[in-house]
Amino acid sequence: MSMVKKALLPAAGLGTRFLPATKASPKEMLPIVDKPMIQYAVEEAEACGINEFIIITGRHKRTLEDHFDTVYELEENLKQKGKKQLLEEINRLSHLNFAYVRQGRPLGLGHAILRAKPFVKDEPFAVLLSDDVIDPDDNLLQDMIKLYEELDCPVVALEEVPREEIHRYGVIQGEADGDGVYRITDFVEKPEPEQAPSNLAIIGRYILTPDIFRILERMRPGRGGEYQLTDALKGLLKKRSVYGYVFRGRRYDAGDKFGFLKATVSFALKSPIVADRFRDYIISVARELQNRNKGK
Ligand code: G1P
């Protein structure tokens, strides 16, 4: 059985990239086909045997708590109407435990993670940034947990990104140590393209160990005046090895409008409920666009 049993899901951000939709409702609740974005992250972790979730929330985020709670009236209603499948669907995650902690002020990812310290205690834990949506068939977290168990070192997920996008990510410098595995030698949060040590960007999945909290507690604000998890990981390098795992599967930056649309189209094309009709629709739209372009 896996040693990683807990997952932190930071969800206190303001969602400014998705305004106006996120003005009064959390970005994490935006639905991709028929499930809110955050549920994909929870299901991804659950598939790896994680059963305790600590969600770091903020103001206007109460619907997150409601979403993972039991809704007694709805259950009764579905039971009475004989809607067994829907009932199963809404109860699918009811065996999991959820705890919520508020970040209070949006002081960065490192600050958010530190808020969860009392819940984590002395165990390794996963961090999932739910706006990085990973295709469930690509098993990223599973592979990271395996690597963590093999090396007994923290592991961060990496992706090769084009130079012009590097300023949006934490970036690593490292030495290759096996296929798609890097022993990390440096971390930089959101560098200018000419200062980036590589094109290997950190994406929103981490397997961390509780020694990161000691570093987070002593940290000063970094890029953007925020407490950066990337800076804490750089500090951790002085004490132990940290590894990167290059993900070559499908990831969608669903906190961004275009990335969200890509996730929606890809997931809809896999959804047993709408896939066939949606595929026909997409083909008809593509044909119409082609004809329109020919006519120009
Ligand atoms: C955060 C991290 C950054 C990482 C990114 C992945 O940035 O600070 O290092 O590359 O997530 O999505 P954010 O997207 O919250 O600005």
**Domain CATH for 224:** 3.90.550.10
Q: What's the pLDDT at 294?
A: 82
Residue 159 has pLDDT above 90, yes or no: yes
Token pair recorded at residue 156: 């961060």
Residue among 9, 168, 231 to mutate when testing ligand 1 (max atoms within 8 A of CB): 168
Residues 163, 283 within the same domain: no
Residues 273, 163 within the same domain: no
Amino acid found at 100: Y
Q: What's the pLDDT at 265?
A: 97
Residues 149, 279 within the same domain: no
Q: Is 134 in the pocket of ligand 1 (CB under 6 A)?
A: no
pLDDT tens, position by position, 124-143: 999 999 999 999 999 999 99
Q: What's the pLDDT at 186?
A: 97
Alpha carbon of 276 to ligand 1 centroid (Å): 35
Q: Which of 255, 272, 288 is the last residue of a domain?
A: 255
Residues 64, 188 within the same domain: yes
- Residue 1 within any structural domain of the chain: no
Least confident of 82-91, 110-119, 138-147, 176-185: 82-91
Residue 10 has pLDDT above 90, yes or no: yes
- Residue 87 within any structural domain of the chain: yes
Q: Is 255 in the pocket of ligand 1 (CB under 6 A)?
A: no
Into how many domains does the chain fold? 2
Residues 164, 261 within the same domain: no
- Residue 10 within any structural domain of the chain: yes
Q: Is 159 in the pocket of ligand 1 (CB under 6 A)?
A: no
pLDDT tens, position by position, 217-230: 999 988 988 999 99
Selection from 240, 45, 253 nearest residue 159 by Cα? 253
Residues 81, 194 within the same domain: yes
Residues 251, 267 within the same domain: no
- Residue 57 within any structural domain of the chain: yes
Residues 72, 162 within the same domain: yes
Q: What's the pLDDT at 267?
A: 97
Q: Is 132 in the pocket of ligand 1 (CB under 6 A)?
A: yes
Range of the domain at 118: 6-255
- Residue 249 within any structural domain of the chain: yes
pLDDT-based confidence at residue 103 (cuts at 50, 70, 90): very high
What average pLDDT does the segment 186-193 reach?
95
- Residue 130 within any structural domain of the chain: yes
Q: What's the pLDDT at 1?
A: 60
Q: Is 169 in the pocket of ligand 1 (CB under 6 A)?
A: yes
Residues 147, 226 within the same domain: yes
Residues 58, 195 within the same domain: yes
Question: What DSSP assignment string belongs to the chain?
Answer: --S--EEEEE-----GGGTTTTSSS-GGG-EETTEEHHHHHHHHHHTTT--EEEEEE-TT-HHHHHHTS--HHHHHHHHHTT-HHHHHHHHTTTTSEEEEEE--S---HHHHHHHTHHHHTTS-EEEE-TTEEE-GGG-HHHHHHHHHHHH-S-EEEEEE--GGGGGGSEEEEEEE-STTEEEEEEEEES--GGG-S-SEEEEEEEEE-THHHHHHHTPPP-GGGS--HHHHHHHHTTTS--EEEE--S-EEETTSHHHHHHHHHHHHTT-TTTHHHHHHHHHHHHHHHHHHHHT-
What average pLDDT does the segment 36-48 reach?
97
Torsion sign, CA atoms 93, 99, 102, 107: negative
- Residue 234 within any structural domain of the chain: yes
Alpha carbon of 132 to ligand 1 centroid (Å): 9
Q: What's the pLDDT at 105?
A: 87
pLDDT-based confidence at residue 53 (cuts at 50, 70, 90): very high
pTM: 0.95
Mean pLDDT of the chain: 94
Instruction: Report the nearest atom of ligand 1 relative to the CA of 228.
Output: 8
- Residue 119 within any structural domain of the chain: yes
What average pLDDT does the segment 208-216 reach?
97
Residue among 22, 202, 260 to mutate when testing ligand 1 (max atoms within 8 A of CB): 202
Q: Contact, 245 vs 198, CB < 8 A?
A: no
Residues 239, 296 within the same domain: no
Residues 267, 226 within the same domain: no
Q: What's the pLDDT at 99?
A: 96
Within 13 Å and on the Cβ side, how many CA atoms surround 250? 12
Measured by CA distance, the residue closest to atom 15 of ligand 1 is 109
